[in-house]
Each structure stands twice: as structure tokens, then as C-alpha cells.
């Protein structure tokens, strides 16, 4: 988090989405993220067995970005039909993955306003897999305007940080408890905001709905969703610290 001065204007605030502000300052927002060590915005990112991810990877995903088909990796083009391309997939056969991901909001023209409710927008698809390792990841959804689904598969422990704005399903699968030690732990703040939806003895999946489930009245609403499968490790889920960007 950067220290602010009297001349700084905070760009990301909890009280809501300011479409005109973001549209006018998008380049400044991106420049600020880059100065903090994040990548330039990308989309349909696929990376496997790269040394880049032996240390922390800071990635900015813009789900609305249109990347020409000829520039996409062979893995994306050949493995899935276009409608199922993930916006980001990180994969490693050996070793762990540490990743910080920022989701940019849609660039809604001020004249049109926010015409599509958030929960009915197309969700960004994020996937992270460490076949023989652990995963630690932090998700930031700027302005909370882009719903997303995050799938995590790890052989070892998973440590996940999600925004306090997360609204949707948590589906967490870990080994059965040993010696009375829980294998799935939600931080107290998250637990207090979540409705338990039960667990499955056979699949070992435990499920919660985060937020007020009384607001879910439309069957087409998807909202956010996190699916985690830790084959031999524990799962810990926390709220991520707000990403505060300052624009001069």
C-alpha cells in the first residue's frame, strides 16, 4: 500500500464504482499497477512450468480485452473451444505457485451507465494448478465490478485471500480431519459473513455462501465462485487487504 499525500487522489474507494473516473484515468491506473510490480493488462493468459512463477507473479487481467487469435498460445487454442477459454491459467508440474491477480473493471462509457447488473455479467475465469506443490494467491477485484470464478487445484496447502466484496459460493475440498485438526479454515470475519450449506462425506467438499443469500432471487445470477481442491493439504481462506492506488 502506498502512502498518500495531500496532492494525491484515491482512485479505488469502497463506496462504489465511478465509471467516468475509471474511463478517464484507466492509463493512470494501469501505470500505477505497473509501478507496484504488476504486469500490463492481459487476457487469456496461459503459463505452464515457467520459472516466472517460482516467485510471486503479479498479474493484471482485463476480461474485456480483445486479443487477436493468432497471438494466443497453442494451449489456449487447441485445448478448449473459444467460449471456454480461461482468462488466466497458471500451471506447474513441480513446485509451488504464488500469485497476485488484479481484475480490472469493465470500461463502461459514462453515457450508457451501468446497464447490466454485476451478477448477470459474464464471469471471468481464473484457474491455478500446482500438481506437486502449494498455492498462495491474492485476488483483487477493482471496484467489485467483475464477477469471477476461481478454480484452484493443489497437491499441498492452499492459502487464499479474497476481496471483502466477494459474494457467492465457496466450494472447498480437503482431506478429512486428522487428530481433530480442521483441514478447512475460514477467517473469523469471513465465517461470520458466510452461510454454511453442508458438506459431502464422499467427495469431502464443504460449501458456504458468502453474503446475504436472500438477495439471490434470479436463477441467471452467478456472482462469484471459488472452487478449491487440496489433495493432501489444508485450505485457509482470508480477506485480502484492500489494494489502494493513488493517482497524482
**Annotated domain spans of the chain:** 14-110+118-166+235-247
- pTM of the entire predicted model: 0.81
Q: Is the pLDDT confidence value at 152 over 90?
A: yes
| Residue-wise pLDDT tens digits, 93-103 | 888 899 999 99
d(CA 68, CA 145): 25
| Residue-wise pLDDT tens digits, 35-81 | 989 999 988 888 876 555 455 789 999 888 887 777 877 766 666 66
SS (H, E, C) 158-212: EEEEECCCCCEEEEEECCCCECCECCEEECHHHHHCEEEEEECCCCCEEEEEECC
Q: Is the pLDDT confidence value at 11 over 60?
A: no
210 vs 219 pLDDT, higher one: 210
The Cα-based distances of 85 to 26, 79, 142 in angstroms read 25, 9, 22
d(CA 248, CA 246): 7
Are 139 and 163 in contact by the 8 Å Cβ rule? The answer is yes
Amino acid at each position: 500500500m502506498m502512502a498518500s499525500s495531500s496532492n494525491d487522489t484515491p482512485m479505488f474507494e469502497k463506496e462504489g464504482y465511478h465509471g467516468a473516473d475509471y474511463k478517464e484515468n484507466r492509463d493512470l491506473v494501469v501505470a500505477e499497477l505497473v509501478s507496484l510490480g504488476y504486469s500490463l493488462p492481459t487476457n487469456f493468459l496461459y503459463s505452464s512450468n515457467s520459472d516466472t512463477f517460482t516467485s510471486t507473479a503479479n498479474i493484471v487481467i482485463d476480461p474485456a480485452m480483445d486479443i487477436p487469435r493468432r497471438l494466443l498460445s497453442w494451449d489456449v487454442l487447441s485445448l478448449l473451444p473459444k467460449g471456454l477459454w480461461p482468462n488466466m491459467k497458471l500451471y506447474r508440474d513441480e513446485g509451488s505457485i504464488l500469485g497476485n491477480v488484479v481484475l480490472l473493471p469493465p470500461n463502461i462509457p459514462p453515457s450508457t451507465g451501468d446497464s447490466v447488473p454485476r451478477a448477470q455479467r459474464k464471469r471471468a475465469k481464473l484457474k491455478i494448478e500446482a500438481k506437486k506443490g502449494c498455492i498462495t494467491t491474492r485476488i483483487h477485484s477493482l471496484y467489485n465490478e467483475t464477477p469471477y470464478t476461481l478454480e484452484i487445484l493443489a497437491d499441498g496447502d492452499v492459502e487464499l485471500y479474497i476481496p471483502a466484496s466477494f459474494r457467492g459460493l465457496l466450494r472447498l475440498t480437503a482431506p478429512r480431519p486428522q487428530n481433530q485438526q480442521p483441514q478447512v479454515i475460514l477467517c473469523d470475519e469471513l465465517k461470520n459473513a458466510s452461510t454454511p450449506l453442508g458438506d459431502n462425506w464422499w467427495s469431502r467438499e464443504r460449501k458456504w455462501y458468502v453474503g446475504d443469500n436472500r438477495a439471490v432471487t434470479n436463477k441467471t445470477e452467478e456472482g462469484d465462485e471459488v472452487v478449491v481442491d487440496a489433495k493432501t493439504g489444508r485450505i485457509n481462506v482470508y480477506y485480502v487487504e484492500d489494494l489502494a492506488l493513488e493517482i497524482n
